[in-house]
Homo-oligomer: A and B are copies of this chain.
């Protein structure tokens, strides 16, 4: 039996069916327009599928209610994507007659990396994405962390570099991490799309320093066993050694463990699943939901290498 997966993003919804990284089918991109229009097109995609889905998983942009026991489960809160505020992202899919699970896009990506990617040998994994926005997902012992709502790690404050006079783009905080170091912030600083900047452009050094500061803070607060940096901006592979270099300085040897000193190369890593982490995470959310629903499903050992 097959599972359905949606990575719900601000520019596109990525939909797929399947059962894991080696069986991901019909991967389809549907543009994010008005909620009705987009959600109807997504529903059509799944209804056009020949066989019924065992369960559907959604990794969504936020803020969104990720608490399965809440009456507002799957409902978006106020979001800068105005038309999507208060939209219930589960309701339209009741038509599929299968259990539906929702979590944040970054928790989904973290989960996929934990189960099938960069984290199969650890018990906790942090996934930070640096793209249009900056966001983080954290998985401990197989469970994505939520708390009050869910983390919004992109909005932590970093210490401004002395030479940096850029105001920052966050509509709420101005110069929080996302305001200073997202893809659009990079672009606003230099007036060129970041993908077109040469790797020796001086902005990368500033960028790496802010990201390293954020990594240090996240390590001090969460102490993850592995730290995955993903998202469009991190396709600049030269950022990895730069970030590790500044991170080493930030940590200053305070936590005297090999992973945070000599072994930083295998600690701060790119996603193993590339840009499929989000949709694969959604798939795994569906599989977990099916397990919870106590029906005939693949055994847990089959789903994860952590046991």
Contacts and interface: CB of A to CB of B under 8 A. Distances in A.
A223 B152 contact: yes
A145 B156 contact: no
Interface stretch (A44-52, A193-201, A211-219, A273-281): A211-219
Given A156-B220, A173-B254, A221-B221, A147 B151 contact: no
Interface string A43-65: 00000000000000000000100
A138 B292 CA distance: 26
B255 A147 contact: no
Contacts of A1: none
Q: State how many copies of this chain the complex holds.
A: 2
Contacts of A172: 252-254
Given A153-B220, A156-B220, A216-B157, A225 B257 contact: no
Given A155-B220, A157-B217, A220-B153, A256 B78 contact: yes
A32 B194 CA distance: 55
A124 B148 contact: yes
A221 to B, nearest CB: 5
Interface string A124-149: 10000000000010001000011111
B220 A152 contact: yes
A177 to B, nearest CB: 9
Contacts of A158: 157, 159
Given A147-B222, A152-B255, A157-B216, 6 more contacts: A147-B224, A151-B220, A153-B220, A155-B220, A157-B159, A157-B213
Interface of A: 63, 77-78, 124, 136, 140, 145-160, 172-173, 213, 216-225, 250, 252-257, 259-260
Nearest 5 A-B pairs (CB), nearest first?
Answer: A147-B223, A172-B254, A156-B217, A172-B252, A148-B223
